[in-house]
Amino acid sequence: MNRNQWLITGCIGVAGIVLPFGVDSPVWMTVLNLFFYYAMLSISWNIVFGYAGLFSFGHVAFATVGGYASGLIVIHLGFSPFWGLFVGGVSCALIGVVLGGIVLRVRGFYLCLLTWAFAEVVNVVIKTEHQITGGTGGLITPGFFSGPQADFYSYFVGLGLFLLMFVFSALLFHSRPGLYLFAVRDDLDAAEAMGVNTRLWKVLGFACGGFWAGVAGAYYAHFFGLIDPSIGGLDEMGKICLMVIVGGVGTVYGPLLGTFFVVILSEIIRGSLAEMNLLIFALVMILTMRFIPGGFMGIIDLLSPLLRHRFAKMAEKADR
């Protein structure tokens, strides 16, 4: 990570700390927490798809599993919800290792089908075993804190997790393991020829994404106090895809920008166009993919040399 990126992370952190004191309405508090949840999911999906090139369609299933694992452990064993976060993440990482070990032998579209199958099986199991999981009605989970200020404190838990996740993703981008993942994504055969253990790095990338998705799911469960199977549905996966695509696949800031765009925009248009919400997003996703495959980050990359050029000229003029 270079200096600029630490600077930006710091700015986001400070803004995040200041924001809840300025924003008073509980609605926007919930929106911000949703933003953290989706940002964590999209950043972790970006690690799986954007960095390692594995089109995993079962990413939201990891969040579901993490949420339920954490919720059940807190309810039945009486752990603190903070341990629940950890347990949710670790259980998903373990599932990621096992599933990845089996599934990552196949490439491309087959992988997509198999991960999708995993997501559907998770959904069916949760809906059917309703005496344990509460079925479609959902599982009521205890929150992080109790009392009137609970949401306010929980917000900082979300902020902390989100920043941790972001820094992790940025560090990974600039590290040697990150390079291995890119090699696996860009050309599997070439990577193998260069001596990269592609199987290992695929599984690690997959499990890593799974871990953070599990943490995100556990956070969701304990913040909202309710988790139901709908967070593992196809619509949710579409949303995550959209955020990453609109922001820019395989970039550090892309998922962040995409999530910001989607969550905030969906809150703004909620009043008048609630019905059209997902419709508009699907349209945006298709158009982005068709015309600007790089997303927001693609536009920024395209514009920044032009702007730099312009500024350099202006500086030259000012000097003269």
State the residues that interact with other proteins by CB under 8 A: 55, 102-103, 105-106, 108-110, 112-114, 117, 120-121, 124-125, 128, 234-235, 237-238, 241-242, 245, 275-276, 278-279, 281-283, 285-286, 289-290, 293
Regarding beta strands 226-227 and 139-140, do their DSSP bridges make them parallel or antiparallel, or are they unpaired?
antiparallel
Nearest by Cα to 47 from 200, 216, 143, 182: 182
Closest distance to other proteins from the beta carbon of 113 (Å): 6
Closest distance to other proteins from the beta carbon of 118 (Å): 8
Whichever of 18 and 132 has its CB closer to other proteins, that residue is 132
DSSP designation for 293: T
Helix (H) / strand (E) element for 229: namely none
Closest distance to other proteins from the beta carbon of 120 (Å): 6
CA distances from residue 62 to 30, 57, 188, 194, 247 in whole angstroms, order as listed: 22, 10, 25, 32, 22
Closest distance to other proteins from the beta carbon of 117 (Å): 4
Quick check: 261 and 304 in contact, CB under 8 A?
no
CA distances from residue 32 to 37, 100, 151 in whole angstroms, order as listed: 9, 32, 11
Whichever of 23 and 289 has its CB closer to other proteins, that residue is 289
Full DSSP string of 26-46? HHHHHHHHHHHHHHHHHHHHI
DSSP designation for 147: S
C-alpha radius of gyration, the chain, whole number: 20
Whichever of 58 and 210 has its CB closer to other proteins, that residue is 58
- Residue 313's CB: how many other CB atoms inside 10 A? 10
Quick check: 88 and 64 in contact, CB under 8 A?
no
Closest distance to other proteins from the beta carbon of 278 (Å): 5
Closest distance to other proteins from the beta carbon of 37 (Å): 20
Whichever of 110 and 311 has its CB closer to other proteins, that residue is 110
Whichever of 77 and 276 has its CB closer to other proteins, that residue is 276
Whichever of 11 and 190 has its CB closer to other proteins, that residue is 190
> What are 132's two structure tokens?
């344990």
Quick check: 123 and 228 in contact, CB under 8 A?
no
Closest distance to other proteins from the beta carbon of 142 (Å): 29
Whichever of 268 and 274 has its CB closer to other proteins, that residue is 274
